[in-house]
Amino acid sequence: MRCQPEYKGPVYIWSKNIQTCLLCDEPSDSALALCSPCLDDLPWLGAQCSICALPLPAAGMVCGQCLQRPPAFQRVIVPWRYDFPMDSLISRFKHQEKWPYGRLMSELLGQLLQYRFDEDLPRPDLLLPVPLSRRRLRQRGFNQAGMLAHWLGSQLQLRVDAQLLKRIQGTPAQQGLDARARHRNLRQAFALAAHAPVAGRHLALVDDVLTTGATAQALARLLLDAGAQRVDVYCLARTPRPGPST
Ligand SMILES: [Zn+2]
Ligand SMILES: [Zn+2]
């Protein structure tokens, strides 16, 4: 007679780990909601500018724009090019409230950051989501950058302050302005909360997509002017070539 106690451990682990791949609907072979073939197929950012992460033909270089006018932020950490399927995943996360997509991308960005922290990237004191205007927040109902910062904060044990950066109302639209006016306009679009504790601190901005970097530049400038010691940028995807200012 066989009389073995029923061992639930592996069964529990197995059932916990079974997830369906969000891209191909096949069972995932890892703890992620993404199977290995789909993970490998993502548009991982290869050679890039070592400051702003602009895709470049060779690694370890700085792009022309960063050489000419070094940005106020020090490093951009970003896993993917803004290309299929990241564009569609980000859009569904932002516009169709598909939280699992956001959660998955944030988890992978968190893994990249942890890897970089273990190498040589200094851990920031605080994560700061790029703020949305109140009007946009009302339309959308949530700030996707705030959710990303919150998920990254719990994954990496980093503090998050979603109230420190403010978007000011009534900034004129960017359309029709030349580059200088756009930059000035953007700088006037943000402010710090009263008594924001930024002096001497290392801060990291969190956003979904980095396009021209103009928003990150405006926010980093604001933080450095207020005494911040260093500003980095963490985001999900980088556009290959600068598009319209965002
Ligand atoms: Zn898959
Ligand atoms: Zn660059």
Question: Please, what is the average pLDDT of the chain?
Answer: 88
CATH number at residue 109: 3.40.50.2020
Q: Residue 29 C-alpha to ligand 1 middle, in angstroms? A: 9
Q: Quick one: average pLDDT of 32-43?
A: 94
Residue 99, in any domain of the structure: yes
Based on the domain organization, do 35 and 48 belong to the same domain?
A: no
Q: Residue 110 C-alpha to ligand 1 middle, in angstroms? A: 20
pLDDT of residue 11 exceeding 60:
no
pLDDT of residue 160 exceeding 70:
yes
Residue 245, in any domain of the structure: no
For 70-84, 121-135, 161-175, which range has the lowest pLDDT when averaged over its residues? 161-175
Based on the domain organization, do 30 and 48 belong to the same domain?
A: no
Based on the domain organization, do 28 and 79 belong to the same domain?
A: no
Provide the percentage of residues in the chain whose pLDDT is more than 90.
67
Q: Residue 102 C-alpha to ligand 1 middle, in angstroms? A: 16
Based on the domain organization, do 199 and 151 belong to the same domain?
A: yes
Residue 152, in any domain of the structure: yes
Q: Residue 25 C-alpha to ligand 1 middle, in angstroms? A: 6
Q: What is the pLDDT of residue 6?
A: 56
Q: Residue 220 C-alpha to ligand 2 middle, in angstroms? A: 15
Q: Quick one: average pLDDT of 45-50?
A: 95
Q: Residue 28 C-alpha to ligand 1 middle, in angstroms? A: 7
Higher pLDDT among residues 99 and 156, named by residue: 156
Residue 226, in any domain of the structure: yes
Based on the domain organization, do 13 and 124 belong to the same domain?
A: no
Based on the domain organization, do 73 and 33 belong to the same domain?
A: no
Model-wide pTM > 0.95: no
When pLDDT is cut at 50, 70 and 90, the band that residue 245 belongs to is very low
Based on the domain organization, do 180 and 210 belong to the same domain?
A: yes
Domain that holds residue 215: 43-238
Based on the domain organization, do 29 and 116 belong to the same domain?
A: no
In SS3 terms, the chain reads as CCCCCCCCHHHHHHHHHCCECCCCCCECCCCCCCCHHHHHHCCECCCEECCCCCECCCCCECCHHHHHCCCCCCEEECCEECCCCHHHHHHHHHHCCCHHHHHHHHHHHHHHHHHHHHHCCCCCCEEEECCCCHHHHHHHCCCHHHHHHHHHHHHHCCCECCCCEEECCCCCCCCCCCHHHHHHHHHCCEEECCCCCCCCCEEEEEEEEECCCHHHHHHHHHHHHCCCCEEEEEEEEECCCCCCCC
pLDDT of residue 1 exceeding 60:
no
Q: Quick one: average pLDDT of 199-221?
A: 95
pLDDT of residue 111 exceeding 60:
yes
Provide the percentage of residues in the chain whose pLDDT is more than 70.
87
Residue 244, in any domain of the structure: no
Q: Residue 91 C-alpha to ligand 1 middle, in angstroms? A: 19
Number of domains in the chain: 2
Q: Residue 105 C-alpha to ligand 1 middle, in angstroms? A: 14
Q: Residue 33 C-alpha to ligand 1 middle, in angstroms? A: 8
Based on the domain organization, do 36 and 131 belong to the same domain?
A: no
Based on the domain organization, do 169 and 66 belong to the same domain?
A: yes
Taking the CA of 242 as reference, the closest ligand is: 2
